[in-house]
Structure formats: C-alpha cells, structure tokens
Amino acid sequence: MEHPVSQGFLSDNRFDNMRIAWKIFGTSLIVFAVMTAAAAFSIYKIFEINKELHLISSVFSPLRNEIAQIEVVALQEELELERVEKLEAELRADRLESLSYGKTDEEIDAAVQASPALVARIQHLEERLESDLKIFEEHARKVDTLLKSAEARVKAAQDQSSTLQDKLELAALLPTLVGIESQHSNFHSHALNLAGSTDISPATREKLEEQLESEEQKLTDRLDQLRTHVSAFTDQSIATAALHEQQALYASIAATTAAGILALILSSLVIAGILRPMRALSSSARRVEQGDFEITLQPRSRDEIGSLTISFNKMVDGLKSTQKIKDTFGQYLDPRVVSGLIADHSDATAGEKKVVSAYFSDLADFTTISEQFTPGGLVRVLNRYLDLMSSQITDRHGVIDKYIGDAIMAFWAQPFCEDGNQATLAVESALSNIELMRQFQEELPELTGLQKNLPRLQQRIGIATGEAVIGSIGSEKTKNYTVMGDTVNLGARLEGANKIYGTQLLVCQRTRDTATGVEFRAIDKIQVKGKTQATSVYTPLARAPEMTEDLRILQASSENALHAFSEADWDSARKMFTEILAIFPEDQIAKVFLNRLQLIAREGVPEGWDGVWHLNSK
C-alpha cells in the first residue's frame, strides 16, 4: 500500500519566514498604529471642543450675564431718573402755587416761610431728590464698572486666543462695548442736565426730555445689538464644539472599523499560515496514531511551525524504529511487555508482588500423537493451535509468558488488566479455547494432509489465582518477563490434575470465588506435590445464563457427595456418586470417586485422613 507524502516547499515570503511571535506582534503593531492615529485625532478634537467650551464658559456666558446685569442696572437707572423728574415736578408745582398770587420772589419766599407745612414739604422733596440723585449716580457707576469688566474680559480672551477666528470674533465685540459705554455716558450727561435744569421753560424741558429718550433708546439698541452678537458667537461656538465632537465620534468609529477589518485580515493571514500546516500535522498525527509511519511532511516555512514539522518528521522516524523493534520482539514477547521495556515503565518490568491468575494449558498425549505428523505438518498444527488459543488470551488482556511445545503459560495481572478481573478473564479465555478446539479439530485434515485416522485432540487447562512475583527475571545479558510463586506452581499442577479427573479445566478455590458469570462444580480438596496447604478445586459447568436444571442438580449433588467423602461418610458418599453416575453415565468424576471408595474399602482409610487427597505426581 502506498502512503501519500505531503509535498511542499520552503516559502521565500518574508512574512511566512517570520517567527509566529513577530507575526502576531506586527499585526498588533499595525492595529495599534491605526488606533493611535484615531486616538490622536480624537484627542485633538477634544482639545478643540475644550477650547470652544472654555470660550463659552469664560467669555460668552459671563458676558451674557454682564449684559443682563447692565440692562437691569440701566433700567434701574432710568427708573431713578423718572423718580427724580417726578420729584422735581412736585417741587415746581409747590413753588408755582406760591407764584400764582402774582407776588415777587421776596414775597414768595416770605409766603413760603410763612407756611411751615409747605416748607417742610419742599424740604422733604429736596432731600428725596438728593437721595435719588445719589442712587442714580451709583447705578451709572455700576453700569460703567460692568462695561469696563466686559471690555477687560474680551481683551483678555483675545490675548489668550490661539486662533485667528476666535480673535476676530472677540475683536468684533469691542467696538460694540465701547459704543455702549459712550452711549451710556451721553445718556448720563443728558439726564444730569435735565435734572439740574429747574428754571427753564416748558418748551426747553420738553426738548431735553426728547433728547434723553433718544439717548435712552440708542443705549437700549446698543445693548440689544451686543446681546445678539454674544448669542450668535455662543451659538457658533456650541455648533463648532458639536462639529468637533461629531468628527471625533466619526473618526473613532472609522478607526475602530478599520482596525477591526485590518485585524481580521492580518489575523486571518497569520491564522491561515498556522492552521494549514497544523491541520497537516494533526492529520498526519492521526495517521501515525493509526500505525502509519510512512508519512513525511515538508516544512513550508522557517518559523516555529516549520521547526515543529521537522521535529514531527524526526519523531515519526523514531516511532518507526521503535515500532520495528516492537513488531520484531512482539513475536517473542507480549507487545505490552515490549512497550514497557522500550519505554522503561517500571510497573511493567520491575519485580513486584501482585494478585495473578496463572494459566497453564497442554494437549493431552500430544507427544505420542505428533509422531503421526510430518515435521512440516507438525509445525503447521502447532502454529495454528497456538495462534487460536493465544488470541483468546491476549484479546482478554492476558499476557503470554511462554510456549513449551504445545503447552501455553499465560497470566493476568496489573497493569495489563484491571485488578479484580484476573480470574474472570482467565476463566473466560479458557472456556473460549475449549470451544475453539472443535474448530481446530475440523482444520486438522488441511493442516496435516491426513484424511483418515486423525487423532482426537483434547486440551487440559489449569488456572490458579493468588499472589505471585511478576517482573523481569534473569541474568544481566538475558532476561525473561515472567511470574513466579506458589500460585504459578499450583496452576501448573492443576493442569496436570485434569488427567486424574477426566476434566478439561480445573481452577483453585480463589479463582472460583472471584470469577463472575460462570457456575462451577466442586471436584475435590487436594494437596498437590510441592505444597503443604490443601486447596479445593473446581471445574466450570457453564456460563451463568446457560445453566440448566440438570446442571444445577449435578452441582448440588457433587457438593453433597464431596462433603460426605471428606467427612469419611463412605456409605453416603458411595450412594451419592452412584446416583450421579446413574443420571450422568459419562461423568468421569463420579467414576474417580467410586474407584477411590473401592480402594478405601479394600485397603482401608488412609492414615491421618483429613478429607484431603494428596497428589504425589506432577
């Protein structure tokens, strides 16, 4: 099968050859420059807004207040003038009352003096006139002060202004202020002349009053004109500030939009430059994960992605070499053990005591049977047999320890399977292998080339569960990953014990207690050679869902018969095993115990009988 190789070339584009950090920094710098320019423009506009607001707050707004005050004071001044004119009119009227009798001045003065009430009234009017004239003067001075203040404010603002437009606007106010000041001076002078003219003819007084009203109207017009100018300038400043604010807003929006679009474009280029090779790396990594080590990627740039691509290629080469080692040695050792040895995983190689289910299997009388096969046929038979049996073991997380001819030694332990599942996995593997023997028997003609007189092959399996030492055992030059201990020896003895009971599978007490999903039949309580402790042994009857009523009867009857045998109740034991044989005529276990009972009846009870049958052979 051909494996596609990624093609590519080293780009001459300076952008592609930049480091990723510089690409990101450059993108950020460009966006930052755009935002900085927008911020600078906005700040400039804010300064312009601030200048307009300062002009409004420091000149136009106070000036409008001062104009309003001038108008109020001028109005008060006019009211005082009217009061003065009224008082003078009252004084003239009182004097005219005395003159109506056609008397001389001396006679008028004498007449006035002769009327204390009139004297008092005239005196009172003169005092009020004098007081109102003083108030009139105060108002006039206040108007002058306000006008001087307004002129000073405008001149100061004009000196501080930095733009020609502002200077021109402020300069336009000064002639109006000066004109108001001059008009107020004329009004004041005419008012004083009118107030001081007591002995003038009515025609002359009327003419003076007309002149005063004309000056008053001119003053009012000047103030209106000033107010209009100030309002216009204020509105213009507000409009200018609003314009600057709008420009700043539009600039911010435009800059933000431009920066966003620019950031999207540049970041898309950077991301695309990263994602393309990263996708290739990701796809290649998945292929490597699936076991494809024939892939090679061509670096497209000189940045970190290019360096990563080169490192990836080196990693694939290393994995390729490692996989070659694993594939080679995996034919001699369990691949998981090989992985542990290569990766130096201490859990997989270091000696440690763990709970183990040891599995031993053998073909009954295979040495004698193999003499019927040619060497080539014998190799084919063994390879096919070991392949079928081993697959059921390794598929259930078992570790093949070794092959000895047709014998298989395997085990289940951590870290190769979950703790607590050792016995269940071992028994399931054994049951599946017993079932596969039918298929293997059918393949014998093709494997051996023999069509007649084919031997009937039968497998024997022993499983023991308990603590054992697991790890790499051997010399400095040669090691074997294996398990050792009484549990392992017990498993080997149980495999051989199948010959005694005519069974295919025997398991120890702990295996029976911890295995799930399988129902067992009690076989015996034995002490194998090399062990001082006895153990109960069992053989599987069926998987739990496949148990029938007959099998349950056999299970219970065997338990009771074995109990009677161990308690030396020979008659009851003989009766029960006889009943079992009557129901199950081919039951080899019942035959074994009936033979033992005959032996005991003939030779007597074994010395020190404790219910344990001692096996003296392996």
Residue-wise pLDDT tens digits, 229-242: 777 767 777 877 78
* ω into 415 cis (within 30 of 0): yes
Domain contains 187? yes
Would you give the distance in Å from CA 414 to the centre of its chain? 36
Residue 557 lies in a domain: no
Do the Cβ atoms of 311 and 328 come closer than 8 Å? no
| C-alpha to C-alpha distance for 226 and 178, rounded to whole angstroms | 11
Instruction: Please tell me whether residues 386 and 253 are part of one structural domain.
Output: no
For residue 385, name the pLDDT band (cuts at 50, 70, 90): very high
pLDDT at 101: 46
- Give per-residue pLDDT as tens, 281-298: 787 788 877 777 777 777
From 487, 516, 545, the end of a domain falls on: 516
* 264 located within any domain: no
Number of helices and strands in the chain (H, E): 18, 9
**Based on the domain organization, do 253 and 371 belong to the same domain?**
no
Among the residue ranges 143-152, 439-448, 546-555, the one predicted with the least confidence is 143-152
- Distance, in Å, from the CA atom of 481 to the CA atom of 466, rounded to the nearest integer, reads 18
Question: Distance between CA atoms of 136 and 194, rounded to whole angstroms?
Answer: 13
Q: How far apart are alpha carbons 509 and 465 in whole angstroms?
A: 8
90 and 187 fall within a common domain: yes
Give yes or no: residues 241 and 137 share one domain. yes
Please spell the DSSP secondary structure of 127-194, one letter per residue. Answer: HHHHHHHHHHHHHHHHHHHHHHHHHHHHHHHHHH--SHHHHHHHHHHHHHHHHHHHHHHHHHHHHHHH
pTM (2 d.p.): 0.53
d(CA 205, CA 211): 10
By the 8 A CB rule, do 115 and 45 touch? Answer: no
- Region 265-277: what's the mean pLDDT? 73
| Alpha helices (runs of H) in 539-569, residue ranges in sequence order | 549-566
Tell me the longest C-alpha to C-alpha distance in the chain: 194
**What is the CATH number for 435?**
3.30.70.1230
Has residue 542 been placed in a domain?
no
Higher pLDDT residue, 594 or 152?
Answer: 594
Asked whether residue 255 falls in the same domain as residue 355, the answer is: no
Confidence of residue 20 (pLDDT cuts 50, 70, 90): low
Pair (251, 364) in one structural domain: no
End position of a domain, from candidates 241, 259, 277: 259
Which residue type sits at 315? Answer: M
pLDDT per residue as tens digits for the range 476-513: 777 778 899 999 999 999 999 999 999 999 999 999 99
Quick check: is 110 in a domain? yes
- C-beta of residue 400 within 8 angstroms of C-beta of residue 334: yes
Q: Which residues pair with 488 in a beta bridge?
A: none
pLDDT of residue 184: 74
> Each residue of 559-615: pLDDT tens digit?
999 999 999 999 999 999 999 999 999 999 999 999 999 999 999 888 888 888 888
Domain that holds residue 179: 20-259
Q: Does 375 map to a domain?
A: yes
- Return d(Cα 494, Cα 492) in angstroms, integer: 5
* pLDDT tens digits along 94-150: 555 544 445 566 666 666 666 666 667 666 766 776 777 777 778 778 877 877 787
Q: Do 67 and 176 reside in the same domain of the chain?
A: yes
* Rounded CA separation 471/363 (Å): 28
Number of domains in the chain: 2
> Does some domain include residue 599?
no
Shared domain check, 236 and 355? no
- Mean pLDDT of all residues in 471-477: 78
> Among the three residues 486, 516, 546, which one is the final residue of a domain in this structure?
516
Q: Say whether both 124 and 231 belong to one domain.
A: yes
